[in-house]
Structure 1
Amino acid sequence: MSAQVAPARRRGLADEVADRIRDAIFDGGYAPGSQLREVELAEALGVSRGPVREALLKLEREGLVRGEWHRGTTVTALSDEDVAELDSLRAALEQLAVALVVERGPDLAEIDAVVARMERAADEHEMVRCDLAFHDAVYAAAGHRRLREAWEAIRSQVHLFLLTRIGVESEGYLAGIPAEHRELAQALRAGDREAALELFAVHRRHAFEILRGSEH
């Protein structure tokens, strides 16, 4: 007996709406904790509420928004537990990525190109995008498909993590981040596994400590 499947639905519009809302969050248009109302979003985007509802569900699966029956949908405000879990998971993934990049010794041209873009970043939000792009390039250079997919599964939440970090403290961020990432790239190129792992750990720890320090 042939399998019975439901008719396929076109999801392009919902995906586009999700992209627009995601970009607005990442550009600072909707801060953590902001409420996202279906009616207002539908009106602003010129679509019906259906694609907006689908888009919000997609973003909820990414961890960017949270839906609660008594509050509706809000942009995720990371709790202390969220911050700790993201930091520890990111550390586990990144340790493997760095070790693989050093072992493979691949062409690091894309990583260098992102560092160059960092030096031209106009504001903190653009710098955060470059920061994520740098780590995208590291995972790509690692040559491990499932590892890259695991990173992509938490990428939006890490983006939110970094936005929260600049919300707490942005002084020196634009000036310091390019040099910090240039040093990370040099460590990968040098092929010293332990030194590279330590530098990446220090890089992660800095953002984590800023967020944890804001609690006190």
Structure 2
Amino acid sequence: MREHAAVAPARRRGLADEVADRIREAIFSGAYGLGSQLREVELSAAMGVSRGPVREALRLLEREGLVHCEWHRNTTVTTLSSEDVAELDSLRGALEDLAVRQVVAHASDEDLAFIEKTADLMDRAMDEHEMVGLDIAFHDAVFEAARHWRLVEAWQSIRCQVHLFLLTRINVSTEGYLADIPREHRELVTALRARDTETALELFAAHRRHAFNVVTANTDSS
């Protein structure tokens, strides 16, 4: 009988993953703006690592859609095209509609309380980048509360790109942003707590549409 090949040894979380975490955080904090060049030699010097882990980290971030790597050229932080924006909006809408229906039908009171807690944190956001991070955390909580793990995985596959979309939104305009976003999310929480599917779907759609209109108005005028 043919013997089965032994499984490969498990790998510990490597240095490239840690480097990727630090670069990702820098992008999300605004330290590296959209379209910024990311040079391997500068990143390796700044983080005290060799260029190998940096190169591997950038490839990891490219798979997430956060950066764009070109052969023999510098890597840049991704700038979303109008097509990117439209595709992300439509896919996010489809996933979020299912999540809302699942939350209304299956979320526990503890799940809903955690969603509300993430929304409450928005009142203490110090700047727009922190608010974007809290917005993403709110939607993380909604997808987790849906209790549909393949849906969560689908959300995770576009999560970083949605974060980029929201960064694009605040780059276009921050007028009223810090005041409006907490209010919008409190309305979303109220609808979920009432287990009012139709109102929740309408409010989540309006929430997405507001950001989409800000971004696309800038794209159309450029």
For structure 1, which segment, 7-16 or 187-196, has the greater mean C-alpha deviation from structure 2 after superposition? 7-16
Q: Taking structure 2 as the reference length, what is the TM-score of the superposition?
A: 0.94
Report the Cα offset of residue 105 of structure 1. Answer: 4.2
Q: CA RMSD in A?
A: 1.3
1:22 aligned partner, one-letter code: R
For the 8 Å contact 1:14–1:54, the answer to whether it is kept is: yes
Q: How does 1:126-141 map to 2 (within 5 A)?
A: 126-141=130-145
Q: Which residue of 2 aligns with 1:76?
A: 78
1:175 aligns to what SS in structure 2?
Answer: helix
For the 8 Å contact 2:107–2:146, the answer to whether it is kept is: no
1:68 aligns to what SS in structure 2?
Answer: coil
Q: Which residue of 1 aligns with 2:16?
A: 14
For the 8 Å contact 1:98–1:197, the answer to whether it is kept is: yes
Q: Which residue of 2 aligns with 1:91?
A: 93
| Aligned mates of 1:74, 1:165 — CA distance in 2 | 19
Structure 2, unaligned runs of 5 or more:
none
Deviations 1:64-107 (A, max 9, x none): 00111253211000000000000000000000000011112422
1:150 aligned partner, one-letter code: A
| Aligned mates of 2:60, 2:18 — CA distance in 1 | 11
Q: Which residue of 1 aligns with 2:191?
A: 187
1:126 aligns to what SS in structure 2?
Answer: helix
Cα distance change on mapping 1:101 and 1:6 into 2, 3 Å: closer
Is it true that 1:158 corresponds to 2:189 in the alignment?
no
1:93 aligned partner, one-letter code: L
Cα distance change on mapping 1:69 and 1:198 into 2, 3 Å: same
For the 8 Å contact 1:105–1:191, the answer to whether it is kept is: no
| Aligned mates of 1:156, 1:40 — CA distance in 2 | 24
| Aligned mates of 1:9, 1:192 — CA distance in 2 | 46
Question: Number of residue pairs matched?
Answer: 216
Report the Cα offset of residue 12 of structure 1. Answer: 2.1
Runs (4+) of structure 1 moved beyond 6 Å? none
Deviations 1:32-79 (A, max 9, x none): 111111110000000011110111010000000011125321100000
Q: Which residue of 2 aligns with 1:59?
A: 61
Sequence identity of aligned pairs in percent?
70
* 1:23 aligned residue (15, 22, 25): 25
